[in-house]
A and B are shown apart, each in its own frame.
Chain A
C-alpha cells in the first residue's frame, strides 16, 4: 500500500503536469527562502521622486505610492504569503486531525456527534467562518491564519476520518482491539502511523487552498495590515490603480494563481497516478467505459455472398441469425488484441444455441457484437452478420433500429444492474412499444403489465409501478425477459442469465426461457460457462476457446461423446452423482492463453494430452464432423466418451 503510493508520487512527477507543478512549487519555496535577503532592500527603499509609476526598465512593474519597486515587493511577498498559508494549514491539522481521528477511538455515540459536527462545518463556507473569527480576534495576520486554519479544519477532519476509517476496518487493528489494546494507544500506535503518509501529502496540497483563501482575506482588508504585505494585500492596493496601471493589480493576482495552480496540478497528477490501475486481466467487454454503437464496419464483406467462408461452411438460407467470419479486436497500448476470431455459425428459427467457454474465451463479446453493443474502441468486422435478413453491420437505419429494438432481446448476467434504478419497471418495458411500435403511453403500459404477467410475475400491475430495487433478483430477471417480449422477439441473446441468481431461481429462469422459446418460437443464444445448463436447455452448443469456435455440436452428441479434447475435458470436469467424493474435482490443467499471446497453432495445444507438433504450429480449421457438427482439431477423439476417471488431463 505504502509502496504503491510512493510509486504514485514517482509516476506523478513523470507526467508533464506533475513535473511542471513540482518545479514551480520548488521555485516558490526557494523564492520564499532567499527572496527577502536579495530583494528586501529594494522593496523597502522609498523614492518619493518616482511614486505610482508604470512599468519601466528600472521598475519592471512600476512603483507604489511611496515609490517602492513593486516587482521586488512581489518577490519578497512570496515569503509571508507562503508562510501564512503553511501556518494556517498547520492550524487546520492541529484542530482537524484529532477531531477526525476521534470517531475511531471514542464510543459510538460520541463518534456520531463528532461526525455530525464535521459534516455541519464542512458545508459551511470558509469565508463566513473567517469573517466570524476576524471579528473576535480583530483584523490582521494572526486573525486570518486562525480563521483559515479553523475554516479548513473540518476538511482536514473529514480527510483524517476517511483515512482512519479505512485503516480501522483492517485486520491488524481488529486484532489489536481484540487483545485489548486501549483506544488511544490504538490510535497512536496502529491507526495514525498507517495514515500518516497520505495525510501529510494531502495537507501539503491543502497549503495551496489556504494560500488562495488567505489572499482573498488580505484582499478584503481583513488580513495582513500595512506596513506588512502579502500578495493579497498588494492586489487590493493595486485594484485602486487598475485604470492607470492594471499590471500592478494583475501581477500579484497572477502570483496567487500560479501558486494555486501548481498545488492543484501536483494534487491532480498524484490522484491520477494513484487512482490509475493497470487494465490487464479485465475483460474488455465488461470494463471499458460505456457500451456504445462502436465503429462497427464491414471489413472484408465480398460483393458476392456466394464466396465461401471456412471450408464451404458459409451459412445460407432463412436462418434467424447468420454469423460469418466475425472478428472483434481492441487496440491497446501493447498492440491490437483480438478476443473474437473468425467466428462462424447460424441460429435457425426457434433453435436454442448455447455458447460455452471459460472467462476470456470471447463468448460474451460475440453476443455483444451480434447486438451492436461492443464498447468503443472495439472494432467489429465480419464477412456477414445478418439478423432476420437485416445487415447488423450497416449504419443504423430507422428500419434496422426498429428490427433490432423489437425482434432482438438481450438479457444480461446481473439483473440488479440491468434495470434503470430511477425509472419505474413498467416504464422501462413500455418505452420499447412507445418508440418502436408507436403505442401511446397508456396502451404501452397495459402491454407492459401484460408481458410481466406472461413471465409469471405475481401482481404485475403493482410491480409495473415499482422501482427495480423493490423487486427480487429473480423477478428482475423475469422483468428483463418480459422487456424482450414487448416486441416480436425472434432471438433472445442471454449472456449468463442465471449466474448472478440463486440456484432455485436459476431453474425458474431457465424454464421461463424455454417456455418463451416454445410459445413464441423465438430462437435463443445462451452464453454460459456452465456446460450443465447447456445440456438442460439447448439444442446445439458452440464451444469457444481463445476467441474461436473449437466445436459445434448438438446436445445429444455432446452427451454421447464430443470430438474435441477441450470439450471432453469440460464435460469431464462437471461433477455428478458418480464423482467420488474423496478424489479432488477434475480440472483442466493450465490456463487459457491471454488475448495478446495467442499462438499460431491450436491454442489448446499446450493444455492438450493429444497435442502433436502439427497442433503447435498449424491452426486446425473448423471442419464438418460426424453427426452434423463441426470441430477444429487435428486429432478428434472417438465418439465414446471414456470413463470419467481416465479423462485426459484431469489426473496429470
Chain B
C-alpha cells in the first residue's frame, strides 16, 4: 500500500496498454465526478447573500427562515453539511423539494424516464441517419463530382446545423401542429407526441454530424490504401463498409461524442418548448423558483451524464484505434 504498485505490477500494466488506458480514464472520470459533486454542493454557498432569504423574500418571518435553513442543513458547520450531502448521494436521499414538498429522488424518478426516452430516441435517430447520409453524400460528390448535389448538401446541412434546436422546435410546432394539425403541440401522450420533440432534437445534430461524416469519408477516400483496395477490384459494398467505414469512424466519433454530450443540454431546451415532463422542464422552473435541492440534484445528474458519455466515447475510441495513438495520450 505504502510503496504504491510494485515494479512487477507496473511492468504488467506496461504490457497491457488497453488496461492501463482503461484504468487511467476511469480515474479521470472519478476525479471529474468528485469535482462535479463538490461544485454542486458548493453552489448554494456561492450565492451572494443569504440564499434562503433571497428565496423566501425580504418579508419572510425569521422563524420560517430558520426552519428552512435547518431543513436544508444550512445551519450546521460546512464539513458536516458536506458529509451529510455525500451520505445522501450514496443512499439516494437528495433532499426535499422546497416548492413541491416532495422528496427530490421521487421527482427525478418520475421524470428521468421521460428525458431518457426523448434523448435516447434522438440519439438512435441521429446515428441511424447521419452516418449513411454523410457517406452517401461523400461518395456522390467525391473528386468534385456533382457540384449541384454538393452545394445542396452543404447549404441544407449548414442551415439546419445553425438553427438552434429550440427555434426549430417552435417552427415544427407552428407547421405540423398549429397549421396542419397533424401532431400535438406539446406534452407527452401517444406515439405522435414524440415525433416533434425527437425531430427538434435530432435534425440539427444529424446535419452537423453528416457534414463531419462526409468530410471524414472524403479524406479516407483519398488515402492510398483505398486506391489499393480499388486495385483489388472489390465490390463496392466491401470497399465502403470494410475499408472506408472503420477508418472514418474515429474522427466521426470524436466530434460525434461532443455532439452527444451537447444533446444533454439540447434536451433541456427542447423539453421546455414542448412542455415535456422531463428533467429539463423541472430544472428550469426550479432555478426560477430558487428550489435549490431540485436544481442541485438535476445539475449533478445531467453533469454526471455528460462526464460518463465523454468517458465512454474515449474508451470506445481507444478500443477502436488499432494504432493505440489515443491510448498513450
A→B interface (CB under 8 Å): 120, 122-128, 131-132, 134-139, 212, 215-216, 219-222, 235, 239, 242-243, 246, 249-250, 253, 256-257, 260-261, 264-265, 268, 288-293, 371-373, 375-377, 396, 401-402, 404-405, 408, 410, 412, 414, 417-423, 431-432, 435-436, 467, 469, 480, 483
Q: Known A239-B170, A264-B162; judge A123-B287 contact (CB<8 A).
A: no
Q: Mark B258-302, 1 if CB is under 8 A from A, else 0.
A: 100110111011001100000000011001101010010001001
CA of A630 to CA of B129 in the docked complex: distance in angstroms? Answer: 58
Q: Which residues of chain B are near A377, meaning CB under 8 Å?
A: 143-145
B195 on the A face (CB < 8 A): no
Taking the closest CB of chain A, its distance from the CB of B221, in whole angstroms, is 3
Q: Which residues of A contact B284 (CB under 8 A)?
A: 131, 220-222
B166 part of interface (Cβ distance < 8 Å): yes
Given contacts A127-B269, A222-B284, A242-B185, 12 further A-B contacts (CB under 8 A): A128-B306, A131-B299, A132-B299, A136-B43, A136-B46, A253-B170, A289-B144, A290-B221, A401-B233, A417-B223, A419-B225, A420-B225
Contact A288 B43 (CB under 8 A): no
Q: Point out the residue from B218, B233, B268 that lies within 8 Å of A404, measured CB to CB.
A: B233
Assess A261 versus B231: contact at CB under 8 Å? Given A246-B174, A250-B171: no
A134 to B292, CA, bound (A): 12
Tell me whether A422 and B223 are in contact in the complex, defined as CB-CB below 8 angstroms, given that A135-B47, A219-B166, A289-B143 are known contacts.
Answer: no
Q: In the assembly, what is the distance between CA of A439 and CA of B111, in Å? A: 55
26 A-B pairs with CB atoms under 8 Å apart are A123-B306, A125-B262, A125-B264, A125-B265, A128-B268, A131-B295, A135-B43, A135-B290, A135-B292, A138-B54, A139-B288, A219-B272, A221-B284, A242-B174, A250-B174, A264-B158, A292-B230, A405-B234, A410-B227, A410-B228, A417-B224, A418-B224, A419-B225, A419-B228, A431-B242, A436-B233
Residues of chain B at interface, number, CB under 8 A: 72
Residue of B nearest to A415 (CB): B224
- Residues A134 and B43 in contact in the complex (CB < 8 Å), given A126-B265, A412-B228, A467-B323: no
Contacts of A264 in B (CB 8 A): 158, 162
Whether the pair B225, A405 counts as a contact (CB closer than 8 A) is no
* B159 x A289 contact (CB < 8 A): no
- Whether A420 and B46, one on each chain, are in contact in the complex, defined by CB atoms closer than 8 angstroms, is no
Q: Is the CB of A125 within 8 A of B162?
A: no
A648 to chain B, nearest CB (A): 38
State how many angstroms separate the Cβ of A113 from the closest Cβ of chain B.
12
Decide: A417 and B261 in contact? CB cutoff 8 A: no
Please tell me if B18 contacts chain A, counting CB pairs below 8 Å: no
Are A431's CB and B163's CB within 8 A? no
Shortest Cβ distance from B309 into A: residue: A123
Closest Cβ neighbor of A285 among chain B residues: B227
User: Complex formed: what's the CA distance from A235 to B166 in Å?
Assistant: 10
Chain A residues in 8 Å Cβ range of B79: none
- Tell me which residues across on chain B come within 8 A of A235, comparing CB atoms: 167, 170
B178 CB within 8 Å of chain A: yes
What residues of chain B have their CB less than 8 Å away from a CB belonging to chain A?
32, 39, 43, 46-48, 54, 142-145, 158-159, 162-164, 166-167, 170-171, 173-174, 178-179, 185, 218, 221-235, 238, 242-243, 246-247, 257-258, 261-262, 264-266, 268-269, 272-273, 283-284, 287-288, 290, 292, 295, 299, 302-303, 306, 310, 320, 322-323
Bound together, the chains give a CA A139 to CA B232 distance in angstroms of 63
Tell me if B143 and A375 are in contact (CB < 8 A).
Answer: yes
- Cβ-defined contact, A242 with B46, below 8 A: no
Residues of B with C-beta under 8 A to A467:
322-323
Residue of B nearest to A288 (CB): B143
Residues of A within 8 A of B167 (CB): 235, 253, 256-257
Residues of A within 8 A of B230 (CB): 291-293, 372-373
List of A residues within 8 angstroms of B164 by Cβ: 212, 215-216, 256-257, 260
Residues of B close to A126: CB separation below 8 A? 265
Q: List the A side residues contacting B163 at CB < 8 Å.
A: 257, 260-261
CA distance A417 to B295 in the complex (A): 52
Asked whether B233 lies within 8 Å of A421 as measured between CB atoms, the reply is no
Q: In the complex, which residue of chain A has the Cβ closest to the Cβ of B161?
A: A264
List B contacts of A289 (CB < 8 A). 142-144, 218, 221-222
Question: Is the pair B222, A290 in contact by a Cβ cutoff of 8 Å?
Answer: yes
Query: Which single residue of chain B is at the shortest CB-CB distance from A291?
Result: B227
The 3 closest A-B pairs by CB, nearest first: A125-B265, A290-B221, A405-B233
Residues of A within 8 A of B226 (CB): 290-291
Which of A132, A292, A423, A483 meets B242, CB within 8 Å? A423
Q: Check A253–B171 contact: CB distance below 8 A.
A: yes
CA A379 to CA B47, docked complex, whole Å: 70
Q: A222-B284, A289-B142 are in contact. Are A423 and B246 (CB under 8 A)?
A: yes
State the CA gap A60–B25 with chains docked (Å): 57
Bound-state CA distance A221–B302 (Å) is 20
Nearest neighbor of B247 in chain A, beta-carbon distance? A422
- Check A420/B247 contact, CB under 8 A, given A257-B163, A260-B162, A289-B218: yes
List, in ascending order, chain B residues with CB within 8 A of A139's CB: 287-288
CB within 8 A of B273: which of A132, A215, A239, A469? A239
Q: Which residues of B sit under 8 angstroms from A132, Cβ to Cβ? A: 39, 43, 299
Q: How far is the CA of A221 from the CA of B273 in the complex (A)?
A: 12
A373–B142 Cα gap in the complex (Å)?
14
Tell whether, in the assembled complex, residue A422 and residue B246 are in contact, meaning their CB atoms are under 8 Å apart: yes
